[in-house]
Amino acid sequence: MRVGISIGAGVVFVGVTMAAIVTGQSSRHVLADPPQSPSPAQSRPDTPSSTEPKHPQPPAATERAEERARMVEQQIARQRLGGRPIKDQAVLNAMRTVPRHVFVPKARRRQAYDDSPLPIGYGQTISQPYIVAMMSELLELKEDAKVLEIGTGSGYQAAVLAHLTPNVYTMEIIDPLFERAAGVLRKQDYGAVRTRRGDGYFGWAEHAPFDAIIVTCAAGHLPPPLWEQLKPGGRIVIPIGGPYEVQRLVVMTKQLDGSRRSTTVMSVRFVPLTREE
């Protein structure tokens, strides 16, 4: 199968056939399957106290707040073609707060709150906002959870996670992206996020075990080290599938007896997980 369109990190495909995908529709309008998962349990009670910000506001949060509010209302918190609404109030608050525009390259800032992934250089992309919110919700983070992200990219997903827990670890394989993301995170007061350049296939053993792991690039299989670094009771959210094809967004939970349970949530398209030479 030849796929003649750009690959976005984290784009949900909405309502057209594979034929439309291969013939090159704009990727953000493409979707293979309706979501298959039951609505996941909400990790936080929907009470006023749960909506109070715990992480300080980043300096750029004063800019373009209305656009973010609109993004949440129109793209994320409401039913959409091929996707259920995101309900976790802490996730929605994080999406309203994190200044997405400072995480994208200057030339893309105007489009920062569009319903689509965007190029961030080096052939990589920042995921569609809806996908960032969906994956954040699927992690079901408790307040003090330790979470590992593979694929820092722009640093945006890591910043969203920083509003959900103080214990965020993120790894990026491409050096200049790693440097840029680490710089933006620092500048926006996300200095508590631990960043590391390296091949995330091997995870981050020094800080294991993790309550949750989020992989924001597509892998042909779950890297075994990531499974080993997950606590019993923990969960991994990962796009599974080959490069240049539609992948499955999968939630894998480690049962207390160490066994694995997997649920496919939806069809997505991510840039591939690459390996160090």
Catalytically active residues, by annotation: 127
Which region among 44-52, 68-76, 154-162, 245-253 touches ligand SAH (by CB under 6 A)?
Answer: 154-162
Of the pair 129, 234, the CB lying nearest ligand SAH is at 129
Of the pair 25, 274, the CB lying nearest ligand SAH is at 274
Starting at the earlier edge strand, list the strands of the sheet with 210-215. Answer: 11-12, 260-269, 247-254, 230-240, 210-215, 146-150, 167-172, 194-197
User: Smallest distance, Å, CB 105 to ligand SAH?
Assistant: 11
Question: Binders of ligand SAH among 20-79, rule CB under 6 A?
Answer: none
Of the pair 14, 120, the CB lying nearest ligand SAH is at 120
Closest residue by Cα to residue 68 from 160, 153, 1: 160
Map residues 121-140 to x or -, x wherever contact with ligand SAH holds by CB under 6 A: ---xxxx-------------
Closest residue by Cα to residue 128 from 141, 137, 119, 138: 119
Determine which residue in the list 167, 172, 254, 268 makes contact with ligand SAH, applying CB under 6 A.
172
Residue 9 makes contact with ligand SAH by CB under 6 A: yes
End-to-end Cα, the chain, rounded Å:
27
SS3 (DSSP) at 244: coil
In this structure, are residues 276 and 254 in contact, taking their beta carbons and an 8 Å threshold? no
Measured CA to CA, the distance from residue 96 to residue 55 in angstroms comes to: 13
The residue written with tokens 């960032």 in the block is: 132
User: Smallest distance, Å, CB 245 to ligand SAH?
Assistant: 16
Instruction: Please tell me the count of residues contacting ligand SAH according to CB under 6 A.
Output: 25
DSSP 184: H
Which residues, 6+ apart, have CB-to-CB distance to 183 below 8 Å? none
Q: Looking at the chain, which runs of residues are DSSP E strands?
A: 11-12, 118-121, 124-126, 146-150, 167-172, 194-197, 210-215, 230-240, 247-254, 260-269
Determine which residue in the list 30, 32, 77, 150 makes contact with ligand SAH, applying CB under 6 A.
150
Of the pair 13, 156, the CB lying nearest ligand SAH is at 156
Of the pair 11, 271, the CB lying nearest ligand SAH is at 271
Map residues 187-226 to x or -, x wherever contact with ligand SAH holds by CB under 6 A: ------------xxx--------------xx---------
Residues that bind ligand SAH (CB under 6 A): 9, 124-127, 150-151, 153-154, 156-157, 171-174, 177, 199-201, 216-217, 271, 273-275
